[in-house]
A = this chain, B = another copy of it.
Amino acid sequence: MDHPHTSTPFNQDLEEVRQRVLAMGGLVEQQIVDATRALMDNDGILGEEVSRKDFKINQLEVLIDEECSGILARRQPAARDLRMIYAVIKTITDLERIGDEAAKVGRMAANLASQEHGQPSAMHQLGHLSRHVAQMVRGALDAFARTDAEAALGVTSEDFVVDREYEALMRQCITFMMEDPRAIRRVMDIIWSARALERIGDHARNIAQYVIYFVTGKDVRHIGQEAMEREVLKPQASSSPRT
């Protein structure tokens, strides 16, 4: 091979991409945290700021895609290295979309701050949902950083819990609207925020699944949590990390 994967420049390239994905992930996490704080503290200025900062995440997506296609062209990675690049190409799309959703939450926070205060109990549950999906994103990025398929599996299992929380909040919001139709616009902002957070949970699950693919070589999308667990937890007898 012209470019054996043990070559120093090649490993440097991979490490650089890895670091950039983690930097992009860090930005995305911060956006979720700030959007949540904007909602909870009724802070419209912070909400607007989150929405404005989204372009930084977009820029990183474009940059990392450029680096990945450069590595594919120059280094022709194989086996585990190729799986890493493949996982990165998919992961950054989800990170970018998480950024979009966080920006939406920021805009909703700004909307809500410009009105009378929302339903306190819904806000409480929204804060809970938000912390939960932020934790999932953090978990997926940690699993990527440590190439830990079992940790990734923990993230995918959380998605079901998040979906239940989201559904409970939705039912509550619909009840609020029926009881007080004048609150409909305000409750709709809460509904859109909850929806954005639920989507962030889905994207975190996707990233966790790409980590599992990268580490084990198994594509575990669309197979359900139990089948995923069988794939990840079964003894990896014959697979060595670099092949």
Contacts and interface: CB of A to CB of B under 8 A. Distances in A.
Question: Could you say how many copies of this chain the assembly holds?
Answer: 2
Contacts of A83: 69
A66 B219 contact: yes
Contact of A69 (B61, B66, B76, B86): B86
Contact of A188 (B58, B69, B174): B174
B188 A184 contact: no
Majority DSSP secondary structure for residues of A touching B: helix
A89 interface: yes
A59 B182 CA distance: 46
A178 B180 CA distance: 9
Interface in A1-30: none
Interface string A205-224: 00000000000000101100
Interface of A: 55, 58-59, 61-62, 65-66, 69, 72-73, 76, 78-79, 82-83, 86, 89-90, 93, 174, 177-178, 181-182, 184-185, 188, 195, 219, 221-222
B90 A222 contact: no
A62 B184 contact: no
B93 A221 contact: no
Contact of A73 (B61, B78, B174, B222): B78
Contacts of A55: 222
Contacts of A177: 177, 181, 184
Nearest 4 interchain pairs by C-beta: A58-B222, A76-B76, A181-B181, A178-B181
